[in-house]
Structure 1
Amino acid sequence: MVAVLSFLAPNVTESYLLSMPIEQGLIVAAIPVIFTSFGFHGSIPAIVNYLDGDTSSLRKAVIVGSTIPLVIYIFWQIVTLGVVSQDALIENGGLSALIGQLSQTVHKSNLSSIVGVFADLALLTSFLGVSLGLFEFLGDTIKGKSEKPNRLLAAVITFTPPLGFALFYPQGFIMALGYAAIALA
């Protein structure tokens, strides 16, 4: 991420940032993505267990763990929206088109590979965080009267639905983000 931002930051054009079509309701359309980007509260019980209930450490983990991604996210938005014109974004939608535009602007052919690795890692860490919270929740829910949760059953229930969804409807991720945002709101 640091490499990508260091390539892009010197190419930010102020006029691109000032010409954002805010009046067209695009900020409202971005709300589901914003909610799900910071929808970490499902993993807080797992973090509480990990930190043995230490409220000071938990407070620090939540504040630092929220602030760092927020700052990076805002910087990423400013840099990408300042490097690519609004016309180019509207004309060529999608992540691959954005990466292509960014690569052309900074004249770095390997930028698309770097951004691709970053996007994959972002998805992976997001998946791990959400699945950790869901796994812990399901483990607590299905253990019933027994002291020991059935971790295998919790793992099957946690990972089988998203795996099936990804295999049989690979383009459904963005749609699922919208539904997840409704659930988080």
Structure 2
Amino acid sequence: MLVESNDKEGAAVYEMIIKQIFQDLQLSPSIKDMRVCVDPKEVVFILAMKMNKTSNFTTLGSVANIKYNKEENETVIKIINENFLPNVLRKLWLEKGRENIHQPNRSSIILEGNQEILDTLIIDDPYENLKKRVYDAAFRIIPEGFRIIRDISQGDIIAIICTDELIKDSWIKKGREYVEELKKV
């Protein structure tokens, strides 16, 4: 982690704040490297973090058996791995509507019509979950009152420029330099 600032005490304080937030959110192992620029004279805060790789997403077909019953015109989903049941229900409720999901028992879900195509439905995406948690951390780290925010994130690098004034081109350039540095890590 690199914290740049013309105020050495301020940089040390921000490094401590960042470490505390990452410890509280249990994100330390998920971030490969980080660059921060804190400039109280310019009133700017630039933050760039590179996320570690995560495991692959999980599809409904990998945690459930999906069979279409032609006579009843319904699709029966038998959950194999119950650890994913809350995710399966949440995702199906979003996709098909809560009123269209029938759960006669803990491990079975019934939908009207042929829904076998649901085997590719992503029910858990660790990358997206991590990304949300990293953005949460970033918004906790941003100084109070810095309401003008520019997101220049790319791929697995979350990068944000914050201020309470108009964002200058030089700050955007600095943020992009951080992004390019982190791409090499």
Compute the TM-score of the two structures, normalised by the length of structure 2: 0.24
Richer in strand (by share): 2
- Normalised to the residue count of structure 1, the TM-score between the two structures is 0.24
Q: Which has the larger radius of gyration?
A: 2
Looking at secondary structure, tell me which structure has more helix per residue.
Answer: 1
